[in-house]
A and B are shown apart, each in its own frame.
Chain A
Amino acid sequence: MAQFLQFAFTRAVMALVTLLTVSLIVFTLMELVPGTCAERYLAFKNTQGSQISIDDIKAEEKRLGLDRPFLIRWGSWVGNVFFKGEFGDSCILRLNINQLLADKFWISLGICLAALFLSYLIAVPIGIVSASSNSPVTNNTLRFVSYLGLALPNFLLALIIMLFSTVVFGDSLTGLFSKEFRDAAWSWAKFQDFLSRAWLPIFILGWSATAFALQTVRALMLDEIGKLYVTAAAARGVSGSSLLWRYPARHALGPVINSLGFDLNRIFNELPIVALILTLTEAGALLIEALARSNDQQLAGAIIFLLTASIVALNFVTDILLALLDPRVRRGLMG
């Protein structure tokens, strides 16, 4: 038990260090965006009729603390994030970022996790079955479908579905909520409305994720299935699906669970493009807006940081899970 706690603690510290490193990288990237937050804040003062001067910008930089050394600014940014959960104000929208993101981030995370869950739900059983199947029809069909999933970019799939829906149903299937629920408080009805629309991004994101996972599971299974312990088990009279599930599948799934964080990251990377096309109002769409079109460094930084934090958290959880399931993992790690 002590050994396990020590393992968990080491893992937690490592996660924290990763997060700090990532925040430093994110913060540095934010600095690389041309122009400063001070300029963007002040630009809006132009609507009041007076011109902003270089002096005004300098004064605003001082007020925002932008004149302090880089590392100190990073420290205070990361401090605010860690201890107060406060990301500051968006440079362009001049709104508090926490308020701006609010449930948007959770919606994004929910969509990604649902896509991840969906892809594993499909990929694991089918991958295992296909690895053990000798039927060329099954194998070739699966291969075709999964290659299509890997080859067809998500944005194209989204466009195809939207085009189809526009032509056939006259509905562009865009947005996350229907009009009457857009500004409403969360309720069961709103959640149902959300689900009636969220299935599309979940399906699109899940599509390629499934194809990817399918290939992984199948390859791992094929590795395991010919091994001696499987043959031995078969010789003992275990056969059929119980042979498959009890022996090679167990070993094959370890690496799959281990890559959960990696898969989540991949899905999240796809999200902004899909979100842009489907005009989803969630964090992914905000991220691409902030990064590509409005140079809003504060907002982009906050979203990237939150995204990384969820991946690090998921990795931490899977590590702990694996360690609980498989003692070799924690021993291997502790040496």
Chain B
Amino acid sequence: MKKFLLSGVALFALTTVANANCPAVTVADMSGVAAGKYPQQFELSEFQDAANCTLEFAENPAIGDLNGQIKGNPDLPPLAERLPEEPLVVAPYASIGKYGGTLDALSNATEAGTSDFLSTRHVNLVRYSDDLATIVPNVARDWSWNEDFTELTFFLRKGHKWSDGQPFTSADVKFWYDNLALDSNVIEKPKDYVLVGGERMQIETPDETTVIFKLPAPKPGLLAHFATHYGQGFQPKHFLGQFHPDINADADSHAQSMGFENGYAAIKAYYGNSDWTDTPTPMLNSPDLLDKLPANTMPTLESHIVIRDTTEGRHYVANPYFHMVDTQGNQLPYISEQDEIYANDQQVRLLKLVNGEADYKTQSLQLSDAPLLLENQEKGDYTIHLKPKIAMHAVSFNVTSEDMEKRKVFGDLRFRKAMSIAINREELNQVAYFGEGKIQQYIGFSPAPDFVDEKWKTFATEYDADGAKSLLDEVGVVDGDGDGFRDLPNGQPLVLNLQFATQGIAGQVVELIGQYWSDVGIKTTVKEVTPDEYRSAQSSNQLDVGLWEKGQPLGIILGNNELWVPPFENYFAHRTGMLWAEWVDSNGEKGVEPPDYVKQLIADINAFQSTPVGTPESDKLGARMVENMVSNLLFIGTALTPDPIYHRNALKNFVEFKTASYEYYRTYPYRAHQWYLDE
């Protein structure tokens, strides 16, 4: 009887919000508790000292059931053994949340338009706070730089565990770096952000919770990289290591016993082809092998783990080992499950949003969708915030087109300038952006740092159709056959096929630009394609015109040079000069040699990353980069605009975002782990 009573009490304590003796500190009401070292969050001991209390832990009452749905997970030990010794104590924005519910989301397709939703469960060593200026700890407990930015030390949490209950230690960071990021069997060529000036770092792990990145040259932006990037600086060595020949001598035979070709094939099935965290799991890529596999997906440190993965959508349950608690000791996340469905059609997505069929969305929503969304706010019981975005809609020409005649024309600066001044940006702003945009040329940095000369912001943005026509005449792009449209200098017809995906740019913008170009005699056709097809065509050098948004803040550029080195961004974003990239990649053996200003850009960005920001030397490098980028018009900008952010009113602890942007990794600064559903 006594036991029964006790468990009854325990159940009561678990299902209601735990009323520990600590004050319910929130961002809105700190209850007199002083802020810690970092805003809106505390280390456990820091919090207990500040609030003068002892935190008692409580968990989601459904966590046992949720754990049961994760294939391969053993039964759960008590909560105290699942949390790190020093869990991260998070102050919710408005109130202590309620457990339960399912966060519904819309994405475009597998690996298309999913990053927004991925960011709601994302973790990395550190993150940006919601002021978008302060970097704060996340998975790491803290960090320190040495004086000249050549040694970055992370301090991890003692007792932190993967979603399968295995310990997470410094060895997992080293494993990610040495055995995945730098292993050409996993990722063919190391990404710039794992290198410093093209050279590798050394990772030292003096003990289980200390990781030291030793850099061959200063790179202050490395920390910002971890705060903004989807690539996580750690992977489960105990899990992926069993398939890695450097870790396990029997990796190949072990993988073969499960039906894989070899160990690397198993790593590919679990980890994907890249460090993009949202690649298909074995549930989608090898369903016939599932029965023999130890788990359907690899363990994670994220707030939710995927349990179903099909071409129609994915389903997630809360990670029972997640390392965060609120200020009352309730383990996060509050929301038990997540559900993601794919809808590749913009109109269908809008209809579903208007009906309140998703809880949160911003990726792929364009300013042009705002009127419809705003109009139905009350009926659909949701709220729209219009927030500036960092990247702008931009246009580029394939300066290394397979067609030599087109390559000559696109490579001619006069042509690119003509195309830029042929765009009536004032009208574009009124029609497509409802006058909300701020006209600007693409300058590489967004927002513009102080070292940017004002003149570049408006370079070749004035509307001048006649000027465009005479420039086109100069290039030799004239109407040879009298059909009213200009032809290539060799007499062949010139038709610009404007392929675009709504994930990267709004349809109205593309149609208007196409119309402006037709007005100066350049024939265009407009076709909407899927993001996948757009990226494929771009990768294989098949696009004439690049149409996607573009722009990154200074902080990110310091850690990642891809905006300044051909093809000027990664697979997922806006690229041009694919054959220049091949030349750079092969050290000049293959591809097409880029012009001098591009070589200068590459040299400058590498120097820029190793120079402390704000110094005259750094500003000089930055100014030269902007001048080379803008005066050559490799990318043609339109206007800086806001974008809609959608969330259902039932979603609580949702704070207004500062930007509607990918650049700080979307929701990551705004802590989706402390969202809860109140229905």
Name the segment of B92-100, B389-397, B481-489, B529-537 touching the other chain.
Answer: B529-537
B623 interface residue per 8 A CB criterion = no
Closest chain B residue, CB of each to CB of A90: B311
Interface string of A80-104 (1 = CB under 8 A from B): 0000000000001101000110000
Residue A270 is within 8 A (CB to CB) of chain B in the complex: no
Question: B329-349 interface mask toward A, CB cutoff 8 Å, 1 = contact, 0 = none?
Answer: 000000000010101110010
How distant is the Cα of A40 from the Cα of B539 in the complex, in angstroms? 8
Given contacts A53-B591, A182-B313, A289-B344, contact A35 B536 (CB under 8 A): yes
Chain A, range 191-245, C-beta contacts under 8 Å to B: none
Kindly identify, within residues 353 to 391 of chain B, every residue whose CB is under 8 Å from any CB belonging to chain A. Answer: 354-357
Query: From residue A156, how far is it (CB to closest CB) to chain B in Å?
Result: 14
Query: Does B351 sit at the interface, judged by CB under 8 A?
Result: yes
Contacts of B110 in A (CB 8 A): 93
Contact A49 B188 (CB under 8 A): yes
- Contacts A172-B355, A183-B310 given; indicate if A57 touches B540 (C-beta within 8 A): yes
A179 at the interface (CB under 8 A from B): yes
* Contact with B533, one of A49, A92, A162, A166 (Cβ below 8 angstroms): A92
Interface-forming stretch among B11-19, B579-587, B613-621? B579-587
A46-B532 contact, Cβ under 8 Å, with A93-B110, A166-B354, A289-B344: no
Assess whether A277 is interfacial by the CB under 8 Å rule. Answer: yes
Partner of B567, one of A42, A51, A99: A51
Q: Which of B312, B536, B540 sits near A92, CB closer than 8 Å?
A: B536
8 Å CB contact of B540 from A42, A47, A293: A42
Choose from A46, A48, A174 the contact partner of B348 (Cβ within 8 Å).
A174
Q: Which of A274-325 contact B (CB under 8 A)?
A: 276-277, 279, 281, 289, 293-296
Number of residues from A at the complex interface, CB < 8 A: 43
A39 touches B540 (CB 8 A): yes
Chain A: which residue is nearest B528 at the CB level?
A293
Given contacts A48-B188, A51-B582, A293-B533, contact A35 B339 (CB under 8 A): no
B348 and A277: CB pair below 8 A?
yes
How distant is the Cα of A42 from the Cα of B191 in the complex, in angstroms? 18
Q: Does A52 contact B (CB under 8 A)?
A: yes
Closest partner residue, chain A, to B584 (CB atom): A51
CA distance A282 to B343 in the complex (A): 13
Complex CA–CA separation, A191 to B679 (angstroms): 29
Which of B284, B288, B571: most chain A CB closer than 10 A?
A: B571
Contact of B532 among A166, A183, A279, A294 (CB under 8 A): A294
Measured between beta carbons, the chain A residues less than 8 angstroms from B530 are 92, 289, 293-294
A43 lies within 8 A of B536 (CB): yes
Q: Is B254 interfacial (CB-CB < 8 Å)? A: no
Cβ A35 vs Cβ B540 within 8 A: yes
Partner of A172, one of B273, B284, B345, B357: B357
How near does chain B come to A272, taking the closest CB pair, in angstroms? 12
Could you say which residues of chain A place their CB within 8 Å of the CB of B313? Answer: 182-183
User: Are A48's CB and B187's CB within 8 A?
Assistant: yes
Contact A48 B344 (CB under 8 A): no
Rounded to whole angstroms, the CA-CA distance of A276 and B345 in the bound complex is 8
Please pick, from A34, A51, A100, the residue contacting B591 in the complex, using a CB distance under 8 A.
Answer: A51
Residue A332 is within 8 A (CB to CB) of chain B in the complex: no
Which one of B284, B285, B343, B590 lies within 8 Å of A53 (CB-CB)? B590
Chain B residue contacts of A276, Cβ below 8 A:
345, 348
- A331 at interface (Cβ–Cβ under 8 A)? no
Given the interface pairs A50-B189, A182-B312, A293-B530, the reply to whether A55 lies near B540 with Cβ below 8 Å is no
The reply to whether the CB of B190 lies closer than 8 angstroms to some CB of chain A is yes
> For residue B189, which residues in chain A have a CB less than 8 angstroms away from its CB?
48-50
- State whether the Cβ of B198 lies closer than 8 Å to any Cβ in chain A: no
Complex Cα–Cα for A170 and B581 (A): 50
Residue among B284, B287, B582 having the largest count of chain A Cβ atoms under 10 Å? B582
B128-160: contact bitstring with A at CB < 8 Å (1 yes, 0 no)?
A: 000000000000000000000000000000000
CA distance A46 to B530 in the complex (A): 17
A67 within 8 A of B: no
Q: Given that A170-B355, A277-B348 are known contacts, is A295 also in contact with B586, CB under 8 Å in the complex?
A: no
Q: How far is the CA of A206 from the CA of B599 in the complex (A)?
A: 63
Say whether B600 faces chain A, with CB atoms less than 8 Å apart.
no
A45 adjacent to B273 (CB under 8 Å): yes
Contact call A51/B540, Cβ cutoff below 8 A = no
Query: Which single residue of chain A is at the shortest CB-CB distance from B572?
Result: A47
Q: Which of A39, A40, A171 contacts B355 (CB 8 A)?
A: A171
- Does B215 interact with chain A (Cβ within 8 Å)? no
Contact (Cβ within 8 A) A43 B535: yes
A43 touches B315 (CB 8 A): no
Residue of B273, B344, B348 touching A47 (CB-CB under 8 A): B273
Cβ contact within 8 Å between B590 and A183: no
Does A44 belong to the interface (CB within 8 Å)?
A: yes
Distance in Å: Cβ of B460 to nearest Cβ of chain A: 29
Give every chain B residue within 8 A of A175 (Cβ-Cβ). 341
A285 CB, min distance to chain B CBs, angstroms = 9
Which residues does chain A contribute within 8 Å of B71, judged by CB atoms?
A: none
Smallest Cβ distance from A53 to chain B, in angstroms?
Answer: 5
What residues of A have a CB within 8 angstroms of the CB of B586 in the complex? Answer: 53
Does A95 lie within 8 Å of B311, measured CB to CB? yes
Asked whether, in the complex, the Cβ of A48 is within 8 Å of the Cβ of B351, the reply is: no
B499 to chain A, nearest CB (A): 10
Q: How long is the Cα–Cα vector from A311 to B571 in the complex, in angstroms?
A: 41
Partner of B287, one of A42, A57, A99, A162: A99
Docked complex Cα distance between A46 and B354 (Å): 36
Q: Does B578 belong to the interface (CB within 8 Å)?
A: yes
The answer for the CA separation of A92 and B570 in the assembled complex, in Å, is 18
Q: Check: B525 CB closer than 8 A to any chain A CB.
A: no
Q: Are the CB atoms of A172 and B540 closer together than 8 Å?
A: no
Q: Cα distance A21–B339 when bound, in Å?
A: 44
CB-CB under 8 A from B542, the residues of chain A are: 34-35, 39
When distances are taken between beta carbons in the complex, the residues of chain B under 8 Å from A95 are 280, 284-285, 311
* Bound CA span A35–B542, Å: 8
A 95-120 contacts with B by CB, 8 A: 95, 99-100
| CA gap between A47 and B112 in the complex, in Å | 13
**Bound complex: CA of A43 vs CA of B343, how far in Å?**
23
Q: Chain A residues near B344 (CB, 8 Å)?
A: 289, 293
Residues of A within 8 A of B188 (CB): 45, 48-50
Q: Mark A45-69, 1 if CB is under 8 A from B, else 0.
A: 1111111111101000000000000
The one of A46, A54, A166, A182 that contacts B539, using a Cβ cutoff of 8 Å: A46
- The answer to whether B355 touches A46 (Cβ under 8 A) is no
**With an 8 A cutoff between CB atoms, is B253 at the interface?**
no
Mask, A161-199, CB within 8 Å of B = 1, is: 010001000111011000100110000000000000000
CA distance A50 to B288 in the complex (A): 31
B540–A174 CB distance below 8 A: no
Whether A166 lies near B591 (C-beta < 8 A) is no
Chain A contacts of B315 at CB under 8 A?
A: 183
The 8 Å CB contact of A183, one of B308, B536, B572, is B308
Give A296's nearest chain B residue, CB to CB.
B533
A92 to B531, CA, bound (A): 11
Contact of B570 among A46, A100, A162 (CB under 8 A): A46
Identify which of B311, B345, B352, B536 contacts A100 (C-beta below 8 A).
B311
Check if B591 sits within 8 Å of A294, measured CB to CB.
Answer: no
Give CA–CA (A53, B537) in the complex, Å: 13
CA distance A92 to B311 in the complex (A): 12
CA distance A294 to B534 in the complex (A): 8
Chain A residues with CB under 8 A of B590? 53-55
Cα distance A116–B343 in the bound complex, in angstroms: 28
Q: Pick the most buried of B313, B354, B355, B570: most chain A CB atoms within 10 A of its CB.
A: B355
Pairs A–B under 8 Å by Cβ, sample size 11: A43-B539, A43-B571, A48-B187, A48-B273, A50-B585, A92-B536, A93-B110, A93-B311, A172-B355, A174-B352, A289-B530
10 new A-B contacts at CB < 8 Å, known A47-B274, A95-B280, A281-B311: A40-B540, A45-B188, A49-B570, A53-B582, A166-B355, A174-B352, A183-B308, A276-B348, A279-B345, A281-B312
Top 6 A-B pairs, shortest CB-CB distance:
A43-B539, A39-B540, A47-B274, A50-B189, A43-B536, A46-B571
